[in-house]
Homo-oligomer: A and B are copies of this chain.
Amino acid sequence: MDKQTVTIYDVAREADVSMATVSRVVNGNPNVKPATRKKVLDVIERLDYRPNAVARGLASKKTTTVGVIIPDVTNIYFSALARGIDDIAMMYKYNIILTNSDENGRKEVQVLNTLMAKQVDGIVFMGNDISDEVRKEFERAKTPIVLAGCVDDQDQMPSVNIDYTAAVEEATKNLIDHGNERVAFVSGSLDFPINRDYRLKGYKQALKKAGLRYDDKLVFETDYSYKAGQLLQPALQSVKATAAVIGDDELAAGVMNGVTDAGLSVPDDFEIITSNDTKLTEMVRPKMSSITQPLYDIGAVAMRLLTKLMSNEAVENKTVLLPYGLMKRASTH
């Protein structure tokens, strides 16, 4: 039934050498006489031999596979990161085991365990929050882990990010400078440090520097979905907000459409700055102004960092901050 597979042993026999030599040829070890190498290569070709990566992994304790934990591939923000990760991984001959976590702590822990069991050489973790249980798994892991687009408030894990605080502060300031005195802050759960400790902090700093009072009625905590944004319009209006800094592009698109569907004009009646500069910002009308982040690069740099960690290379800086910007489009003046 099963196509019988040809093993290194078959090649050795046919080529009249030892398996050690075949192994050397396959792995490009230079200690093989050219004539022998050719002989082996010919047999490999003839028998169509393919090394078994599982056996290889067992013997060498390297799987050339890394785990990637992502909240949801379907989210355009994370898929951009994932693409960066995969491209660099491929460049370094790694493959990626990708799993969706839905930011669910239990699932994250379980997935981490599976990945460790599968002996991945490293892990890239994405998610807004690192629960205590997850952190515990990180600590017991013998494998390098880096965070991508995800902040470690305890500053223990290697990570690749932008300076969220500064970015949000700048965005908020921009809105204030346009004359908005009531700027809303719309984000995902404030249980997430990235929102509570970084973004919100930037928002408050901007208010303070502008001499505006912080009003927690202007802070909206919701989930990162288009629908959630759309439903926010009445609330926004009731607190007399005239602008918003929003933590996610889909969410922002929802808010914007909610606002315009209610008959208001963006940006004349309501200005919006979103956070992730995904291609969605260009697809909606009006196009959304946004904090710009090098999404692909965050993933790519995270993976590159991981390769260094995996090969025990010295790493100058465990947490790298990539540059952000502010892109003015049609949702602000």
Cβ contact within 8 Å between B65 and A118: yes
Contact of A283 among B3, B90, B250 (CB under 8 A): B250
A181 interfacial by beta-carbon distance below 8 Å: no
A218 interfacial by beta-carbon distance below 8 Å: no
Interface size class of A (residues with CB under 8 A): 35 or more
A95 to B76, CA, bound (A): 22
Say how far A269's CB is from chain B's closest CB, in angstroms. Answer: 16
A321 to B40, CA, bound (A): 48
User: Interface digits, A71-109 against B, CB 8 Å rule (1 contact, 0 not)?
Assistant: 011101001101100110010000111111000000000
Cβ contact within 8 Å between B99 and A90: yes
A267 interfacial by beta-carbon distance below 8 Å: no
Cβ contact within 8 Å between A52 and B119: yes
A284 to B284, CA, bound (A): 5
Which of A53, A55, A72, A76 has the largest count of B CB atoms less than 10 A from its CB? A53
A20 interfacial by beta-carbon distance below 8 Å: no
Asked, given contacts A253-B283, A257-B285, A280-B283, whether A53 binds B98 with beta carbons under 8 Å apart, the answer is: no
A294 interfacial by beta-carbon distance below 8 Å: no
A2 interfacial by beta-carbon distance below 8 Å: yes
A279 interfacial by beta-carbon distance below 8 Å: yes
**Residues of chain A in range 110-144 having any CB-CB distance to chain B below 8 Å:** 113-114, 116-119, 142
User: Interface digits, A43-57 against B, CB 8 Å rule (1 contact, 0 not)?
Assistant: 000000011111101
What is the oligomeric copy number? 2
Contact of A97 among B5, B74, B96 (CB under 8 A): B96
Contact of A284 among B65, B99, B283 (CB under 8 A): B283
Cβ contact within 8 Å between A285 and B285: yes
A87 to B107, CA, bound (A): 12
Please give me the residue from chain B that is nearest to A4 by CB atom.
Answer: B142
- Interfacial chain B residues near A142, Cβ < 8 Å: 2-3, 5
Cβ contact within 8 Å between A96 and B95: no
A58 interfacial by beta-carbon distance below 8 Å: yes
A215 interfacial by beta-carbon distance below 8 Å: no
- Interfacial chain B residues near A113, Cβ < 8 Å: 50
Cβ contact within 8 Å between A53 and B119: yes
A282 interfacial by beta-carbon distance below 8 Å: yes
Which of A3, A54, A58, A80 has the largest count of B CB atoms less than 10 A from its CB? A54
A63 interfacial by beta-carbon distance below 8 Å: yes
**Residues of chain A in range 195-251 having any CB-CB distance to chain B below 8 Å:** 226, 250
A260 interfacial by beta-carbon distance below 8 Å: yes
Cβ contact within 8 Å between B72 and A119: no
Please give me the residue from chain B that is nearest to A107 by CB atom.
Answer: B90
Which of A96, A98, A257, A260 has the largest count of B CB atoms less than 10 A from its CB? A98
- Interfacial chain B residues near A90, Cβ < 8 Å: 99-100
- Interfacial chain B residues near A253, Cβ < 8 Å: 283
Known: A79-B79, A98-B98. 15 other contacts (CB 8 A): A5-B142, A51-B117, A53-B117, A54-B58, A55-B58, A74-B79, A86-B100, A87-B100, A90-B100, A95-B118, A226-B279, A250-B279, A257-B283, A260-B285, A280-B280
